[in-house]
Structure 1
Amino acid sequence: MAWLVLGSILLLLAILASGRVQPAIAFMTLAGSFLITGLVELPVMLTSFANPALATLILLLLVSLTLERSPLLDLLAAKILAGREKPALLKLMGTGALLSAFLNNTAIVASFLGTLSRQTRIAPSRLLIPLSYASIFGGITTLVGTSTNLVVSSFATNAGLGELSMFQFSLVGIPVALVCIFTLLISSSWLPRHDTATEQKSLPYFLSAEVMPESTLIGKTIEANAMRQLDGLYLLEIERDGRLISPVTPDEIIHACDLLVFTGEVNKVQTLQRFSGLRLLGESADELLTSNLVEVVISHESILANRTLQEVDFRTLFNAGVVGIRRGERRLEGQLGRIPLKVGDSLLLAVGSDFSQHHNLDRNFHLLSGTLQRPRLSLHQSLAALGGFAVAIVCASLGILSLFESLLCLMALFLISGLLSINEMRRRFPFELFLVIGSALTLAKGMEASGAAALVADGMQYLFNGYGVYAAFVGVFLLTVLMTETVTNNAAAALAFPIALSTAQAFNADPMPFIMAVAYGASACFLIPFGYQTHLMVYSPGRYRLQDYLKTGLPVSVMYSLTVLLLTPIIFPFE
């Protein structure tokens, strides 16, 4: 049974690394199989989902919904970029790390992303990867800095070791952050310098055609004219008498002198030759056609991930048409409606008049450019919200209240004051994270009950027996780093924790250095963009390639690992 359970965990890792199945589905399926086969009992599984640290993590993310609406971060981002590139970069990384120590790092990167992408003083490609990395540096310094630390705390609580304290990570985390910031300041010289502003102005996405007065299309609907199923092209919008009709419905009637705007494979101009009375106007968009363009990045919470535009009926869902899709440095071509989308893809949208009123925007997109702005807090509200959060952190740090109690009181105040709404909490509730962590806690219990955890511990002891407990500690850290680079950071922490705890027990060592190795190792994602959500957020806006992460991140990863491996056993001894 132990070998079967261990094999199922390896299969889970392979599935997660493939990216073809959502982590929540994979974890829930395996946890369900543990329940059905009797490896874990129902009360044990339910207790996993009611873990105090997991509940604290959910509360923290919900409270962050209010904090990320503060305009203060946008104003701060604009101030940071004054001066030459290197000093501006140092200020950006220092500020990003400091804020990420207490605020959700995804919210920090999202707040800076739009401002950094729109400004033209410094190429965004020189700033965005450093911002993403800096959010990791700050996150490892406190309990609330990253969800990974709270995940590790939830496992420690589940194992009977108690919750980790607010600044337990700081004695190692702060020196690591400082070392990595200065390392990144040097390695950032290898980042590309893309002039995105010039490239965006050309907008090579459109194919326009005017309906001539003698055209047979006049007086018929889009459906009747067979313009719904064109080879490689898609009718995005119509310009009529100085106004835009966007998106275009199937029953829209074509008028004389209408300007039809198509997108998709614009090189397939011959598709339009079968329509009589159409005069092609070229591939550039004029001032009116670009007035309703908005660029967004698909978020990690989006329902669009791994689905096509046709599958989700994008036009109906958002009242917008997709003009172009960019993934990293390249613009995707072909029939846009049939391209499976990925988290981090950049979409150029031609939006309808009520696009900004849709309540599902925050969950699905990070706004890069355009005239639309999310509803923001006033300056007074921002100061009140940030002040309330600071009080909650201080109360938790001093032991006046637990972190859960502090965040619960703060959320109640936000709800009463109207800074947070039940509807917003419902829309943005982190269901996937809740399912992944709850299921992972169940899997840890199953590994323990089946003997799989003991089997792994025996293997680790056999592998490192001749080298001592420090070698086993290094092995746990490197294993966690390998998993966080190939799967997600939270999944890596969830799967590495039982191994770390069992290894500590096998060597009769204090489990704390091994637990911290998992916490720091699960955040050590610097080499590829696919294992960490903030890396994906900046991937397309910065027009990066995979090698950009490798060249910039390798020195950072080496210095991060060396500093963690040196300081952790000193701060958290093995005995």
Structure 2
Amino acid sequence: MDPAHAVLISLGTLLALLVHGRFPPMLLFSVWAGGFHVLGLIDQETLLTSYANPGLAVLVLLMIVSLVLERAPILEIAFRKLINGRTGPAVFKLSAVTALASAFLNNTAVVSALLGTVSNQRTHPPSKLLLPLSYAAVLGGITTLVGTSTNLVVNSFAVRAGLEPIGMFQMAWVGVPVAVACILLLGVLARWLPDRGQRNHHGRQDYFLEARVGTTSPLIGKSIEQNALRNLEGLFLVEIMRDGRLISPVTPEEVLEADDTLIFTGEVDKMHVIERFPGLQVFGTRADALLRSNLVEVVISNESELANRTLREVDFRTMFDAGVVGIRRGEKRLTGQLGRIPLRVGDALLLAVGKDFAQHRNLTRNFHVVGGAPLHPKLSNIQTAWSLGGFALVIALATAGILPLFAGLLLMLGALIATRTLTMGEIRRRFPFELVLVVGGALAIARSLESSGGADLITDAVKAVFHGHGVWGAFVGIYLMTVILTECVTNNAAAALAFPIALSTARAFGADPTPFVMVVAYGASAAFMMPSGYQTHLMVYSPGRYRTLDFVRSGLPMSLLYAALVITLTPMRFPF
């Protein structure tokens, strides 16, 4: 088999593994890049320079500086003034402010900053606001170069391919009209957004909870009815795990045995009811002792090492000085033992935390806080003013061509460290290693695709498919391919896979590559229909108690309007 076909088959395997989701993208891209080097498709210098790309360096600096900006309380203050009145106008105002913030700040950081505030407010059901919050963060990201990591990833590829880098506001010519139109649509769609009701008095929703019958409990040998476990206030006994066997439904005549695991669903604030039953334990601790602990509600982040692992596989208490009281995954009913459920990005956990919880260095990488004490203190007014002012100055100088963005961000990072607004420990904990490995590996894979002749084969196939439609048909095809990829894999991975194909297609048709580069950037952010399509969607999935169908219903009209505008406006502003 010739190298070109071998590379294409290996990339098909890579895409299949990315869609499957069993292995993290950073591992897959690193293995593939290393494999291509071993096979002689790229030399050592090319491999190493892929991880030292100037665009990638700017992206890393921006992510580190954003660690401080996400602690600025200005977004929360603005939000509290936006949600008064009817739901439609509130959605529109929230979306507009979120999009504006996301144009300059990392959109994950924007959603993280507002997640707890939006989830715990009582003016509107959180399910009416959280999905627009996520969509608006995506829409704001397509208006500037620094709006989302995906834009900087595409820029890295452009620089590596010898093209002109994307300007700071070059994407705004198409991005702003698209964002404005879609935000207006969000305001109209507000009436059809799911209404999952208000949270309970303390702002917490129903969780999947677990309690074990101790070996000396007086509950042993008595039925559910005799133990008065049938009609509990705010809790419902749904299953019993006994010797690896699941008993469901639980009948009133079922007799309890030692080491039975009782699985409840219900309001966390009603868990004090369990204190009445002697011998019941929650996460290996007496129920009354645990429930007097400080409860913190978190969402598992996309960077978390807990993803695809069970609580039994990790020493959770040692890792975080916390016990897991409950798990929630959108509106999906979980089943089985709490400790045996594979955790997913976006799962909400209710933690009973110890006194050293906030001191653990791995918290911000693993969790977004929804309820309870924040993991890091907010910036003071003075810190907020000079941090945001400094960032605005860096952007302005870069836009005017006075100071390169890399140099400006580097100076700002030095100032943040010098004033101890940002510590070296926080940088080490939050350094975007995964992003570096994904982007660097993708750049190396793209070079292998070119050197092996695989890119030429793809180009020939694209020309054959769109033979009767010309460059316009190929342009639309690249957009659709990118959108499909971004709904199936991560947005950065989608951009990495689509860019070399887009560039080869533009060159095959003798067209200016700029519109093809831009449409990959816009298309890689067009993930509206699946919770897994974008990391901010996973962040709001459980706090909003959403179902996948909620994303499909709201995302379909968004995707159609977004696609129509991007496909129409991009060639108008960036001609072929």
TM-score range, shorter chain: 0.7 to 0.9
2:206·2:328 contact (CA, 8 Å) conserved in 1?
no
Deviation at 1:340, TM superposition (A): 1.2
Shift of the alpha carbon at 1:205? 2.9
1:65 and 2:67 equivalent?
A: yes
Structure 1 residue 200: deviation in Å? 3.5
Change (3 A) 1:133 1:344: same
From 188, 202, 209, the counterpart of 1:205: 209
Amino acid at match of 2:195: R
Residue aligning to 2:263: 265
2:4 aligned partner? 2
Distance 1:144 1:532 in 2: 17
Alpha-carbon offset, residue 356 of structure 1: 1.8
Separation in 2, partners of 1:36, 1:232? 46
Map of 2:296 onto structure 1:
294
Query: Which whole-Å deviations, capped at 9, do the CAs of 1:476-516 have from their partners, x for residues lacking one?
Result: 11100110010110001011000000000100000001111
2:495 alignment counterpart: 493
Tell me the distance in 2 between the aligned counterparts of 1:213 and 1:513: 70
Identity of aligned residues (%): 56
TM-aligned CA distance change 1:280 to 1:312, over 3 Å: closer
C-alpha distance in structure 2 between counterparts of 1:296 and 1:99, whole Å? 23
Equivalent residue of 2:486, what SS?
helix
1:175-221 CA distances to partner (integer Å, 9 max, x unpaired)?
00011111222233322111251393776736488999999xxxxxx
Counterpart Cα distance in 2 of 1:413 and 1:118? 35
Q: Quick check: 1:441 aligned with 2:443? A: yes
User: Residue 54 of structure 2 aligns to which amino acid in structure 1?
Assistant: P
Q: Which amino acid aligns with 2:388?
A: L
Q: Flag the 1:210–1:455 CA change in 2: closer, same or farther, 3 A.
A: closer
Structure 1 segment 399-478 matched on structure 2, within 5 A: 399-478=401-480
- CA drift of 1:361 comes to 1.2
Report the CA distance shift for 1:213/1:51 in structure 2 as closer, same or farther (over 3 A): closer
Distance between the aligned counterparts of 1:282 and 1:492, measured in 2? 46
Q: CA deviation at 1:281?
A: 7.9
The CA distance in 2 between the partners of 1:175 and 1:69, in whole Å, is 29
Contact 2:216–2:279 (CA under 8 A) maintained in structure 1: no
- Equivalent position to 2:308, from 298, 306, 309: 306
CA distance in structure 2 between the partners assigned to 1:427 and 1:262 by the alignment: 39
TM-aligned CA deviation for residue 330 of structure 1: 2.7
Tell whether the 8 Å contact from 1:139 to 1:145 is kept in structure 2 after alignment. yes
133-142 or 291-300, which deviates more: 291-300
Shift of 1:534: 0.3
CA distance in 2, matches of 1:232, 1:340: 16
Aligned counterpart for 1:555 among listed residues 546, 554, 557 = 557
* Counterpart-to-counterpart distance in 1, 2:374 and 2:515: 48
- Report how far residue 265 of structure 1 moved: 2.7
Number of the residue aligned with 1:533: 535
Q: Could you tell me which residue of structure 1 aligns to residue 512 of structure 2?
A: 510
Unaligned runs of 5+ in 1: 216-228, 234-260, 268-277
Provide the residue aligned with 1:256 in structure 2.
none
Q: Are 1:99 and 2:101 an aligned pair?
A: yes
Offset at residue 538 of structure 1 (A) = 0.4
Q: How many angstroms apart in 2 are the aligned matches of 1:33 and 1:281?
A: 53
Q: Which amino acid aligns with 2:321?
A: N
Aligned CA distance change for structure 1 residues 301 and 201 (closer, same or farther; 3 Å): closer
Tell me if structure 2 keeps the 8 A contact 1:264–1:334: no
Contact 1:264 1:336 in 2 (8 A): no
Q: Distance in 1 between matches of 2:15 and 2:409?
A: 33
| 1:127 alignment partner, SS class | helix
TM-score normalised according to structure 2 size:
0.87
Q: How many residue pairs align between the two structures? A: 526
Cα distance in 1 between the residues matched to 2:174 and 2:132:
21
8 Å CA contact 1:203–1:285 kept in 2: the answer is no
Q: Does 1:392 align with 2:394?
A: yes
Distance in structure 1 (CA, Å) of the matches to 2:244 and 2:355:
26
Correspondence list, 1:96-495, <5 A? 96-198=98-200, 200=204, 205=209, 207=211, 265-266=263-264, 279=278, 289=291, 292-372=294-374, 374-495=376-497
Q: State the SS of the aligned residue for 1:334.
A: coil
Alpha carbons of structure 1 residues 263 and 397: separation in structure 2 relative to 1, 3 Å: farther
Query: SS state of the match for residue 81, structure 1?
Result: coil
Query: Following the alignment from structure 1 to structure 2, what is the Cα–Cα distance between the partners of residues 399 and 544?
Result: 45
- 1:374 positional shift: 2.3
Alpha-carbon distance in structure 1 between the residues aligned to 2:316 and 2:539: 20
Question: AA paired with 1:104?
Answer: N
Shift in alpha-carbon separation, 1:553–1:509, aligned structure 2, 3 A: same
* Cα distance in 1, alignment partners of residues 216 and 549 from structure 2: 50
Q: Is the 8 A contact 1:2 1:452 kept in 2?
A: yes
CA distance in 2, matches of 1:29, 1:474: 32
Identify the range of structure 1 (186-195 vs 475-484) with the bigger mean alpha-carbon deviation: 186-195
Contact 1:232–1:264 (CA under 8 A) maintained in structure 2 = no
Q: Secondary structure at the match of 1:137?
A: helix
Partners of 2:215 and 2:355 in 1: CA distance: 24
Tell me the equivalent position of 2:88: 86
Structure 1 residue 69: deviation in Å? 1.1
Q: Deviations over 1:546-567 (max 9, x none)?
A: 0000000000000000000000
Q: TM-score, normalised on structure 1?
A: 0.87
- For 1:476 and 1:213, locate their aligned partners in 2 and report how far apart those are by CA, in whole Å: 64
